[in-house]
Amino acid sequence: MKKLSIMFSFLILLMASFFTTNLTTAQAANLSYTVSADHPDNQIDSNISYYDLKVKPGDSQKLTFHINNTDSKEHKYLISINRAGTNMNGVVDYSKHGADADPSVKADIEKMVPEPKTVTVPADTNKAESFELNVPKKEFSGIALGGVQIKLLDSAQNPTNKKGVTINNQYAYVIGLQLQENSEKIKSNIKLNYAKTKQINYQNYIVANLQNDQPMIINKIKADAKVTKEGSSETVYKLEKDGLDMAPNSNFDLPVSTNNTPLKSGNYTLHLKLSTSEKTWNFTKNFTITTTKAKQMNKTAVGETNTKENWPMLAVVAFLILIIAALLAIIIKSKNKK
């Protein structure tokens, strides 16, 4: 009985190992620097830490900020002034320089400022840096939004690339840069450009490309999405998410998860409702998943529930279950004899 119990425990542990996921933990470093902005005379709100500037067409001005290196050794920093965008999580993102501008952009911050540069700050030094802001001569409405990103270049950067996992320890501060020429009221608007399949981090999604084509931030958007077969009311995939934000004149792909199920070819319809406290938008968009596309994406996706592809694993699990059942039967029979 003791031997049987040991064998039983060993098999339970062996079976559990098939369902264990390796987790990689990245511990954030203590940043050894801070940044701060000097507010110019045309700062609208002096109580906020970022640049919030009232500008005029054709204006030029120098903006200054400080990098305070509190470490005992010197460091290099990459300074880039980036146009604000929206990432797939519905968060305003200031981290990308040189990304394609949305077609609706009229006042592009990246065209008003110098190209990125690298600076060195000695140990225990507070160094002032500045850049020239050149406002276009053509007047613009609403706001132009971006950010001054100061990225530590010589930190420990050990990228780990695995299927579905990418870790790259890079650290940065961002000082917001918001420009406006007048207080004209802008009405919010969102467009649905397209719906299609897309693979993100080796997972399959149906994405809806949403566009904020107005020079204003849209906050706290609630999204209710469902995907059906074309002409059917039965939901195949769905998404409910709130708290989404969109940067001015930006677009992003809102992902609807396929829940690790293989894609099937056919004609589909995306039904999408977006709402804020002030306005609601309703969209429908038809799209097609071809047989070739479905096979290609299913082949490269990780973690999909696909019986054909997972039959070796299922066979091993079934075998272990049979052994455990047999051992249980022997144990019960032995107890009955006693």
Q: What is the pLDDT along the chain (338 residues), one digit of tens a residue?
A: 555 454 444 444 444 433 333 322 223 346 899 999 999 999 999 999 999 999 999 999 999 999 999 999 999 999 999 999 999 999 999 999 999 999 999 999 999 999 999 999 999 999 999 999 999 999 999 999 999 999 999 765 444 454 444 455 678 999 999 999 998 999 999 999 999 999 999 999 999 999 999 999 999 999 999 999 999 999 999 999 999 999 999 999 999 999 999 999 999 999 999 999 999 999 999 999 999 999 999 999 987 554 444 555 666 677 778 888 888 878 777 766 65
Give CA separation, 269 vs 125, 197, 226, 286, 292, in Å: 58, 12, 8, 4, 19
Amino acid at position 238, single letter: K
Give CA separation, 189 vs 89, 104, 238, 253, 282, in Å: 19, 12, 23, 16, 12
User: What pLDDT sits at residue 109?
Assistant: 97
Give CA separation, 302 vs 102, 164, 265, 297, 319, in Å: 31, 7, 19, 10, 24
Q: What is the 3-state secondary structure (H, E, C) of the chain?
A: CHHHHHHHHHHHHHHHHCCCCCCCCCCCCCCCEEEEECCCCCECCCCCCCEEEECCCCCEEEEEEEEEECCCCCEEEEEEEEECEECCCCCEECCCCCCCCCCCCCCCHHHCCCCCEEEEECCCEEEEEEEEEECCCCCCCCEEEEEEEEEECCCCCCCEEECCEEECCCEEEEEEEEEECCCCCCCCCEEEEEEEEEEECCEEEEEEEEEECCCCCEEEEEEEEEEEECCCCCEEEEEEEEEEEECCCEEEEEEEECCCCCCCCEEEEEEEEEECCCCEEEEEEEEEECHHHHHHHHHHCCCCCCCCCCHHHHHHHHHHHHHHHHHHHHHHHHHHHC
What is the pTM for the complete model shown?
Answer: 0.77
Fold entry, domain 33-180: Immunoglobulin-like (2.60.40)
Distance (Å, rounded) from C-alpha 50 to C-alpha 274?
Answer: 30
User: What pLDDT sits at residue 161?
Assistant: 52
User: What pLDDT sits at residue 275?
Assistant: 97
Largest interatomic CA distance in the chain: 97
User: What pLDDT sits at residue 21?
Assistant: 30
CA 17 to chain centroid, in Å, comes to 31
User: What pLDDT sits at residue 205?
Assistant: 97
User: What pLDDT sits at residue 279?
Assistant: 96
User: What pLDDT sits at residue 31?
Assistant: 80
Right CATH for 190-300 from 3.40.50.2000, 2.60.40.10, 1.10.1370.30, 3.40.50.1820: 2.60.40.10
User: What pLDDT sits at residue 24?
Assistant: 28
